[in-house]
Amino acid sequence: DAGVIQSPRHEVTEMGQEVTLRCKPISGHNSLFWYRQTMMRGLELLIYFNNNVPIDDSGMPEDRFSAKMPNASFSTLKIQPSEPRDSAVYFCASSLGIGVSTDTQYFGPGTRLTVL
Amino acid sequence: EDKVVQSPLSLVVHEGDTVTLNCSYEVTNFRSLLWYKQEKKAPTFLFMLTSSGIEKKSGRLSSILDKKELFSILNITATQTGDSAVYLCAGGGGNYQLIWGAGTKLIIKP
């Protein structure tokens, strides 16, 4: 299996621009997680999908962030408009099953976002 | 509030040394304790522990959980420069959420 695939790997954009991050989970996995990682705050869960349905988006920082999962093999995280404080590494992870904490989460390579 | 605390925050040792990384947790309805290794990319899964006192082992790495004292340790014996990484610990409770520690940055000097 190719593992979790994310694109782009690096994104540099200017403040105010729209940014779209993409994720393809491991085939057969039912749960998908978007995380953000910064030096200051570590790993933070942004949103969790199960069977393509958003279950918990309480970690989404504000209305500028949105996420979709139109099918089992694709998800997007969009930031519009982007701000410098959004600069971070964004990880997508997937797990088999219903996403309980005993399901191992497998991480993608991440997208390093820099907003100038 | 649920929390996971790792110690030390950073550690520098020489190749061949043995290291012990610590993770203490307070997680509501605790079910699992996970260890991940993060080099300059994605966290990669090492171990999941759900039962006290049962050691999990993979090569030179091993880990054990103490559910009474609410902590776990990760041991690495005969360290190599390739073990240099940030080691993350996460606690899982009754739902899907993992509570992540800040990580221990391990540097192995040749």
| Cα–Cα distance for residue pair B88/B74, rounded to 1 Å | 10
A contact test, residue of B31, B96, B104 with most A CBs within 10 A: B96
Distance, CA of A95 to chain centre: 14
B14 pLDDT above the threshold of 70: yes
Q: What pLDDT is stored for residue B95 in this prediction?
A: 80
Sheet holding B3-7, edge to edge: B3-7, B19-26, B71-76, B61-66, B56-58
Q: Does A104 touch chain B (CB under 8 A)?
A: yes
Neighbours of B29 (CB within 10 A): 10
Q: What is the pLDDT of residues B42-82, one digit of tens each?
A: 999 999 999 888 899 999 999 999 999 999 999 999 999 99
Nearest to B41 among A33, A103, A109 (CB): A109
Average pLDDT of every residue of chain A: 93
Q: What pLDDT is stored for residue B97 in this prediction?
A: 83
Q: Does A91 touch chain B (CB under 8 A)?
A: yes
Closest residue in A to B28 (Cα) is A101
B41 pLDDT above the threshold of 90: no
Q: What pLDDT is stored for residue A62 in this prediction?
A: 83
DSSP string, A26-61: PTT--EEEEEEEETTTEEEEEEEEETTEEEE-TT--
Nearest to A101 among B44, B95, B102 (CB): B95
Q: Which residues of B touch A100 (CB under 8 A)?
A: 31, 92, 95-96
Q: What is the pLDDT of residues A5-28, one digit of tens each?
A: 999 999 999 999 999 999 999 999
Percent of chain B scoring above 70 in pLDDT? 100
Q: Which residues of A touch B44 (CB under 8 A)?
A: 107
A42 pLDDT above the threshold of 70: yes
Q: What is the pLDDT of residues A83-105, one digit of tens each?
A: 999 999 999 999 987 767 778 89
Q: What pLDDT is stored for residue B5 in this prediction?
A: 97
| Pairwise pLDDT comparison (B97 vs A43), residue with the higher score | A43
Q: What pLDDT is stored for residue B96 in this prediction?
A: 82
Q: What pLDDT is stored for residue A61 in this prediction?
A: 86
Q: Which residues of A touch B101 (CB under 8 A)?
A: 42
Confidence bin at A114 (pLDDT 50/70/90):
very high
| Cα–Cα distance for residue pair A34/A91, rounded to 1 Å | 6
